[in-house]
Amino acid sequence: MITVNNLVKVFGHLEVLRGISCHIEAKEVVVIIGPSGSGKSTFLRCLNQLEKATSGEIIIDGINVTDPRTDINAVRQEVGMVFQRFNLFPHMTALQNVALAPMKVRKQPRREAEKLAMDLLERVGLQDKIHQYPEKLSGGQQQRVAIARSLAMRPKVMLFDEPTSALDPEMVGEVLEVIKSLAKEGMTMVVVSHEMGFAREVGDRVIFMDEGLIVEEGDPEQLYTNPRHQRTRLFLSKIL
């Protein structure tokens, strides 16, 4: 589903990604961990071209997204993204947040888009909040709206950038539950997250990044309990 070849990203003089290569299968759930500044967010943002790669190649569902001739808006419809800070549209209700892109991008009729939005909001457990504005929702609820908003485009891949790290601890669970249910339905997902329980339960693979490189990857059990690299061990000892 996703193939990355030797991806490099440079900001000014800072080489943030220094040659990342990996392959992610359809229906696979990949969890990315690594210290702050290691380039995890930058990597995700390159996948949907919110950041332009400096060099290297990214192929998603057979489409080379790093090719300048590719219609990036079309690719982004297939690649949903959920942000650490939710980024809901504050001037719209939950329903409007979710229904907007299907209406404007997919040109669905309003009725159809709103029906879809209601179904998705119900699915993330927010059927009684559809007419609320984001400021009236808790962090966990906002993040669930954000997930529904991405799903409304019926993406083939979902990217999550630390979806629970801006949440109060008691709200982490409700958001992870939604992400887990997506995993069970076979959504292809790349999740930056340090929630180890989550990674163990639904992750097919964990990738450890440090200083712009993939240091180690493997099965969650193996990587958490018996990491091969010193740097991985050091990092895990800090977050555990």
Partner 1 sequence: MDFRFEVIMRYLPLLLQGMKLTFQLTITAVAIGTIIGLFVSLCRIASFKPAAWMAKGYVDFFRGTPLLVQIFLIHYGFPQLFGMNAFPAYLSGIIALSLNSGAYIAEIFRAGIQSIHRGQMEAARSLGMNYAQAMFYIILPQAFKRCIPPLGNEFIAMLKDSSLVSVIALQELMMSGRIMQGRSYRPFETWVTVAMLYLVMTLTISQFVSYLERVFGKDDHGE
The residues of the shown chain that bind Mg ion, judged by CB under 5 A, are: 41
Rounded to a whole number of angstroms, the minimum distance from the CB of residue 90 to partner 1 is 6
Spatial separation of the C-alpha atoms in residues 87 and 89, rounded to whole Å: 6
- Report the alpha-carbon distance of residue 113 to residue 61 in Å, rounded: 25
- The neighbour count for residue 49, using CB atoms within 10 Å, is 18
Selection from ligand ATP, Mg ion, partner 1, none that 5 binds (CB < 5 to 8 A by kind) is none
* Paired tokens of 79: 């690649």
If the CB atoms of residues 38 and 150 are measured against partner 1, the closer one turns out to be 150
| Single-letter residue type at 13 | H
166 binds partner 1 (CB under 8 A): no
41 binds ligand ATP (CB under 6 A): yes
Q: How far is the CB of 236 from partner 1 (least distance, A)?
A: 30
Q: Are 43 and 51 in contact (CB under 8 A)?
A: no
Among 32-40, 57-65, 95-103, 215-223, the segment contacting ligand ATP (CB under 6 A): 32-40
Give the one entry of partner 1, Mg ion, ligand ATP, none that residue 104 binds, where binding means its C-beta sits below a cut-off of 5 to 8 angstroms depending on kind: partner 1
Between 47 and 86, how does the x/- string for binding to partner 1 read (CB under 8 A)?
A: -x-x----------------------xx-xx-xxx-x-x-
Angle at 97 between CA 92 and CA 100, to 5 degrees: 105
Looking at the DSSP bridge assignments, the partners of residue 209 are 214
